[in-house]
Structure 1
Amino acid sequence: MKRVFKMAAKWVLWLFLLGAPLVAWCGQDPLKLGQVTDNELKMMVYDKDTAAAAVVLYDYGESSFQFTKGTQLIFKRTTRIKVLKKAGLEQADIFIPFYQKGMGSSEKISGVKGFTYNLEDGKVSKEKLEDSDIFEEKEAANWYQKKLTMPNVRVGSVIEFSYTIESDFVENLREWEFQKDIPVVWSEYRVEMVPYFEYTHVMHGFHPFHTQDSKSYRKTMAASYKENLLRGSSQAAEQMGALMLRVQQYRWVMKDVPAFMEEPYLASADDYKSKMEFMLTKVQYPGQKPSYMASNWDGFVKEMLKEEQFGGQLARGSFLKNMAEGLHLNNTDSLARVKAVLAYVQRQLKWNGEYRLYSKSIKTAHEKRTGSVADINLLLVALLREVAIDAHPMLISTRQHGRPLTNLPMLSKFNYVIAHVKIGKNSYLLDATEPSVPFGMLPYRCLNGQGWVVSQPSGEWVPLKNQERDVQVVMAQLEVKPTGEMLGTVEETLRGIPALQMRSSIMAKGKENFMKGFSDKGQEWLRQEVEMKNLENLEEPLKTNYKLSKAGELQPLQLMYLSPMLHHATAENPFKVAERNYPIDFATPSDKVYIFNFTLPEGYEIEEMPKEVNLSLADNSVRFSYMAQMMDGKLRVMSRLNINKEVFGPEEYASLRELYNQLVAKHSEKIVLRKKG
């Protein structure tokens, strides 16, 4: 959106005449730089989290509007942090993201100030952040960041900084993150709303507000506008006036916010950290009709399809026609055409690693043989349409980016685009960014809830699921010698994400280097004569065969302790905390099956063997079985773990954790062999 506020002189005067005496906000004033206390400087440990490496003592932000340079959002922040341990020294690096869009609209960071405080011989030393400690870096297209390196920070330091961001993008009202990776004593955000803009706010996380209120008052604000110099002339002069507006100021405070702890199988921490986001839904100036910011999915579809760098890229062009003709697909069925087009785009374009929703030119990307996610997958959709396939772009959010909101069309909640294809009653989700991704499968990063198909009239939500389960099957035939030496053969079979990850690793490292690393399993186990099947046949399981050996002692053993899971044991429970407030997201159902057959040495008998176990959660959502028994003169050990759904709620966490506790315990059990006589 461009600057949405253009003001006429008559309107300024009308607003001014509506004015009334100013009513001041009567809430608690925010702290200022330089008000560091003795207690903060002497603090050695944070009593509410004694393990904390650092703690945010105070984090204050405010957003408001100004009208002296068109319409701008002004965001101000003041933050104070105490460093308690060596690991907390990383808090000395401050990153401030901001957005630049050509010469017309931009964000500007100003008023950067910072100080580091230390106690030295009982006295307070104060060191100022210098200009030489401030750097500017480009992060991505249109995105930059200021990096502040606070001076002389050591364990015991208190650092504080403040800055202001002037933004031309009123649709980007700054979000506020109350919770961080370190504890927060006080976090406060104030937003001053004016009558012309309406925002919907979205709250994440579980920590309660300490304070949540608002005040309404009138405020006089300076404003600029353009006025024609002569009647009928196109020349205009910049004039200044004043606005008297009734504003609504909101105040949100959280206190004693615990550090957010990253836990396994959590798609995105941003979905569960306590924070607030905003979406501009309506703009209305006095005497004008309201303008709605695609507050429904119908409007969102129209905007996306008319956007030149999105829907505009799907228009058929001569280069697409020539490309389609070169594939010679006239006499093939629909499914074969889709597979051929996917394979072609995968081979022709290399992904540059950038996540994008828009493409400046899919034609240019094809000519350069490289591009972003949007370049590659919008080209895929356009080429599929050229060969008469029902294909549409599909907006998704990757796992690290967080889940999109299904009830609000917030473009910022998406960061990735794939292809949605329909053939008869069947639907397929396609991503051409990686050559190792088989047809009908998405990379792990894309398996994140639902995606939104951009199709008339209002699109549709579609689950992001792969067509097949993740599978790992390991089968071994091993002979145990009296010295404890073991040797034999192993076959590993992979499907789904594990197969994709191995194929991608082989492609990245080169087959020779990968094989070298795969063979070197460490001092205990040695892999030799490794062979792989179906490495390039993506729709078949990836199979790896090799000889496996383990050295023994110089003399026969009286007692032998056999670890039957070899090097495949689950050594520790990934679910360590006693309670969890967040879902457990495995991304896809999976099967892990291990079958090991051991030929035991003559003259030895089994003295101790693990007991059989069969465990399952409600509705068989997870099943674990383990068995060790003699069969046909051989010792067979089998472990099977089946995870039958993608996401588990927090209420299922305790049961899942306990099942993994028993799995780890069972995998650690040894089989004891004793020499007879």
Structure 2
Amino acid sequence: MTLLIRCLLALLLASVATAHAQEAPIKFGKVEPRDFDATAYKGADAAPAVVLCDYGRLRIEGAHDGFKVVLERITRVLIVNKDGYEHATVHVPLYRREGKEELLTQLRGATYNLVNGQVEKHKMEDESVFHEQIDARHARRRFTLPRVREGSIIEYSYVVKSGFLYSLPTWNFQHDIPVVWSECRAELPAFFVYKEFSRGYHPYAVQTHAVVPYTTLYRASEEAGMGLSSNNTVMQRLSTSALGGRWVMQDVPAFRPEPYMTTERDYRAALDFELHLTQFDPTRPRPVTSTWEKIAAQLLKQEDFGGLLKREDFAGAFSNQSPLTAEAQALAKHHPNPAERAAAVRALVQQNLRYTGEESLFARTPLLGKLVQLRQGNAAEVNLLLVHTLRDAGLEAHPVLVSTRDHGRIQTEVPLVNQFNYVVAHVALHDQPAGLLLDATEPLAAPGTLPLRCLNGQGRLIAPGGGRWLPLTPSQKHLRLTNARLSLGEQGELRGTVNVEYNGYAGLAERGRLAENGEKAYLTRLLQQHPDWQLTRSAVQRADELTKPLLVALDLTVPPAQAAPTTLYLPLMQLFTDAQNPFQSDARSYPVDFGAAHEYVTTVQLTLPPRYRISELPGQLLLDLPGGQGRYSYEATQQGNVLQLVSRLQLRKTEYKPSEYPALRELFIRAQAKHAEPLVLQRQP
């Protein structure tokens, strides 16, 4: 008998507490006439389809000299209208690697229609099932349920068996359509200890854990002596305890993207499992997950990561000297200030290497000479060359692993390198304890300003000895300053100048639009946003001066709604502020993630002609979010025939919780209402 079997059988002595088994929430084929009533399901009135029940059972079974993961799943969906027909075609992803593969078995499906009060069943035939190979590692099984019409119920079930024990299948509770009931159960034997991670913002209706009995059959190869194996196998029954878990969500709303979100994966309700340790011998548990220190050491040894930081390959067979070394050393002499030197090194790398747009943690070309010769590279190649060149310039620099906003948030308690998809550089500065974060991929960003895509929680600094976590804190805010100086004509027209300054991340965003579209198309888009404006002169200034705000200077005319009116209603502030509130939903289940603090300041100065008088000066307004996390202020002053209006909206946090959303939305509503208040002017005879 093998050592593995002896250790497993020793677990028979473990004490076992039993838990009462729960009945499954669904039974395949048991569809009742009442199930077709869409009015009984929350959210069905505004949805093309509704998941009535999605039930999965995860367990680990014995296999030949190992174990396998088994997922049994039953799903039932009500098709509400024709837009829901797409849900009658189902895709099941399958994975393979290193001789292991996921297999789908026991697939069955049916469509149910209610005809004259009776349920008619139409079975899915084998001809409706297709196998699609996506690439060497990924495939999927696709099938379509038959005879689907408005009001149909579709149902399917299958079993997926997998040899990948490290990461169990993710259970997704939330989908693009409402879910009435979603339930996942798992039985995980004591010799496999998993960590579970919940994602999303919908609460569990049920979440329980209990120790339950566990039995499985395990087929082991017999030893032939002298350490040799034979073709004979022996079947063993293994009995021990298992951790049984049950997770239920009820009435899960359809997922809808909202403004100011990162990737959808951060918000959809789901459950993940990662293997933490194995304990076939309870006295000698063996950790499976790595540590951040081990990951750092491994990355520094890899040719496609740490290799770009070396001056020779790991075997010493060839030089990996950077073609930029001599220039970097010269910069050290010309820039004694470390921060200025770091900015100069960043500019040097940008002059020699263009970012291809590929977000990657690893280099495709580890040879620095060839990389510079190609004059382009992915994120890892650009920024690892940046780290190398910073070191050549005499600066203490290290790479920092980052997960971009469209890749997902980092779980710091899970040491997995695949959580990251990007790398930036960190420079230690004696006068700045936090140091300086640099990215050479974005030519439109000022030195020390990370692209907005990188502002996603924390990054992991990689250095000998392990490194540490660094907050990816924005160095600047998103700031827009609008200054309008106008004169009112006798006929009610407005003439004057408008200067709009875009600072920080507002400047980075506008420079990006300007570079993408060109100045002419950029200004055309600006006019489309403000249809009342008639430009007589326009200019975009300081586009290449990255440390200064981008300036859009305009001379404009706004014609009156009617010529020389006796009473003029002038929505003055609305002409120069955003017309639409980005927060349309009454409630929100997810945080509002701006990435950086925002501020919008609009100043309008209006000179009145002799024959016009203000009926009433607009009232002042001051609104504060709880805890001082945001503010809106509005004031109006008049000196002689000159009126000045000042509006300031400040959002001082980068992220607002769902519980803070109502106050945030109300702040925007009240601000827009104030902007829409017309200035009332009377024309004297």
What TM-score do you get using the length of structure 2 for normalisation? 0.85
Q: Report the CA distance between 1:118 and its aligned residue.
A: 3.5
Letter of the 1:174 partner, please give it: P
Partner in structure 1 of residue 400 of structure 2: 394
User: In structure 1, what is the Cα distance between the partners aligned to 2:271 and 2:26?
Assistant: 22
User: In structure 2, what is the Cα distance between the partners aligned to 1:406 and 1:232?
Assistant: 42
Partner in structure 2 of residue 248 of structure 1: 242
Task: Check whether the contact 2:190–2:243 (CA below 8 A) recurs between aligned residues.
Answer: no
Select between 45-54 and 166-175 the one with higher mean Cα deviation: 45-54
Partner in structure 1 of residue 334 of structure 2: 332
User: In structure 2, what is the Cα distance between the partners aligned to 1:676 and 1:440?
Assistant: 56
Partner in structure 2 of residue 220 of structure 1: 216
What is the aligned-residue identity percentage? 32
Counterparts of 1:461-476 in structure 2, within 5 Å, are 461-476=469-484
Secondary structure of 1:545's partner?
A: strand
Q: Report the CA distance between 1:67 and its aligned residue.
A: 4.5
- Tell whether 2:557 aligns with 1:549: yes
Secondary structure of 1:666's partner?
A: helix
How many aligned residue pairs are there?
A: 666
Per-residue Cα deviation, 1:39-87 (whole angstroms, up to 9, x for no partner): 2234355247644443221111222334436543333332222232455
Counterparts of 1:158-557 in structure 2, within 5 Å, are 158-204=153-199, 205-210=201-206, 212-225=208-221, 231=226, 237=231, 239=233, 241-259=235-253, 260=255, 262-267=257-262, 270-286=265-281, 290-294=285-289, 296-317=291-312, 318-325=319-326, 328-333=330-335, 334-363=338-367, 368-426=374-432, 427-521=435-529, 523-553=531-561, 555-557=563-565
Task: Check whether the contact 1:518–1:527 (CA below 8 A) recurs between aligned residues.
Answer: no
User: In structure 2, what is the Cα distance between the partners aligned to 1:584 and 1:444?
Assistant: 15
Secondary structure of 1:378's partner?
A: helix
Q: Report the CA distance between 1:675 and its aligned residue.
A: 1.5
- Tell whether 2:581 aligns with 1:569: no
User: In structure 1, what is the Cα distance between the partners aligned to 2:522 and 2:371?
Assistant: 31
Q: Report the CA distance between 1:626 and its aligned residue.
A: 0.9
Q: 1:282 to 1:119 in 2, by over 3 A?
A: same
User: In structure 1, what is the Cα distance between the partners aligned to 2:141 and 2:493?
Assistant: 59
Letter of the 2:50 partner, please give it: V
- Tell whether 2:4 aligns with 1:11: yes
Quick one: which of 36, 43, 46 aligns to 1:41?
A: 36
Q: 1:588 to 1:554 in 2, by over 3 A?
A: closer
User: In structure 2, what is the Cα distance between the partners aligned to 1:97 and 1:370?
Assistant: 34
Q: Report the CA distance between 1:242 and its aligned residue.
A: 3.1
Secondary structure of 1:174's partner?
A: strand
Q: Report the CA distance between 1:147 and its aligned residue.
A: 5.7
User: In structure 2, what is the Cα distance between the partners aligned to 1:489 and 1:495?
Assistant: 19
CA RMSD of aligned residues (A): 3.7
Q: 1:171 to 1:330 in 2, by over 3 A?
A: same
Q: Report the CA distance between 1:113 and its aligned residue.
A: 4.5
Per-residue Cα deviation, 1:493-524 (whole angstroms, up to 9, x for no partner): 11122111111122223444334433444643
Secondary structure of 1:329's partner?
A: helix
Q: 1:132 to 1:477 in 2, by over 3 A?
A: farther
Q: Report the CA distance between 1:647 and its aligned residue.
A: 3.0
Per-residue Cα deviation, 1:223-246 (whole angstroms, up to 9, x for no partner): 354856x7477x864746435142
- Tell whether 2:68 aligns with 1:75: no
Q: Report the CA distance between 1:664 and its aligned residue.
A: 1.8
User: In structure 1, what is the Cα distance between the partners aligned to 2:106 and 2:516?
Assistant: 45
Task: Check whether the contact 2:474–2:595 (CA below 8 A) recurs between aligned residues.
Answer: no
Q: Report the CA distance between 1:309 and its aligned residue.
A: 4.2
User: In structure 1, what is the Cα distance between the partners aligned to 2:549 and 2:459?
Assistant: 27
Q: 1:71 to 1:503 in 2, by over 3 A?
A: farther
Q: 1:308 to 1:156 in 2, by over 3 A?
A: farther
Q: Report the CA distance between 1:212 and its aligned residue.
A: 1.7
Q: 1:412 to 1:147 in 2, by over 3 A?
A: farther
Uncovered stretches (5+) of structure 1, i.e. residues with no partner: 1-7
Partner in structure 2 of residue 560 of structure 1: 568
Q: Report the CA distance between 1:377 and its aligned residue.
A: 2.9
Secondary structure of 1:504's partner?
A: helix
User: In structure 2, what is the Cα distance between the partners aligned to 1:648 and 1:55?
Assistant: 30
Q: Report the CA distance between 1:594 and its aligned residue.
A: 0.7
Task: Check whether the contact 2:122–2:147 (CA below 8 A) recurs between aligned residues.
Answer: no
Q: Report the CA distance between 1:361 and its aligned residue.
A: 3.8
User: In structure 2, what is the Cα distance between the partners aligned to 1:542 and 1:111?
Assistant: 62
Counterparts of 1:88-127 in structure 2, within 5 Å, are 88-92=84-88, 94-101=90-97, 103-109=98-104, 112-119=107-114, 124=120, 126=122
Q: 1:657 to 1:523 in 2, by over 3 A?
A: closer
What TM-score do you get using the length of structure 1 for normalisation? 0.86
Letter of the 1:26 partner, please give it: A
Uncovered stretches (5+) of structure 2, i.e. residues with no partner: 313-318
Q: 1:76 to 1:584 in 2, by over 3 A?
A: same
User: In structure 2, what is the Cα distance between the partners aligned to 1:223 and 1:357?
Assistant: 41
Letter of the 1:31 partner, please give it: I
Q: Report the CA distance between 1:536 and its aligned residue.
A: 2.0
Counterparts of 1:559-638 in structure 2, within 5 Å, are 559-575=567-583, 582-618=590-626, 620-631=628-639, 633-638=641-646
Q: 1:470 to 1:232 in 2, by over 3 A?
A: closer
User: In structure 2, what is the Cα distance between the partners aligned to 1:309 and 1:192?
Assistant: 40
Letter of the 1:549 partner, please give it: T
User: In structure 2, what is the Cα distance between the partners aligned to 1:75 and 1:161?
Assistant: 14
Q: 1:505 to 1:71 in 2, by over 3 A?
A: farther
Letter of the 1:117 partner, please give it: Y
User: In structure 2, what is the Cα distance between the partners aligned to 1:347 and 1:133?
Assistant: 54
Q: 1:435 to 1:142 in 2, by over 3 A?
A: farther
Secondary structure of 2:333's partner?
A: coil
Task: Check whether the contact 1:570–1:663 (CA below 8 A) recurs between aligned residues.
Answer: no
Task: Check whether the contact 1:137–1:147 (CA below 8 A) recurs between aligned residues.
Answer: no
User: In structure 1, what is the Cα distance between the partners aligned to 2:207 and 2:683?
Assistant: 72
User: In structure 2, what is the Cα distance between the partners aligned to 1:285 and 1:368?
Assistant: 52
User: In structure 2, what is the Cα distance between the partners aligned to 1:41 and 1:556?
Assistant: 64
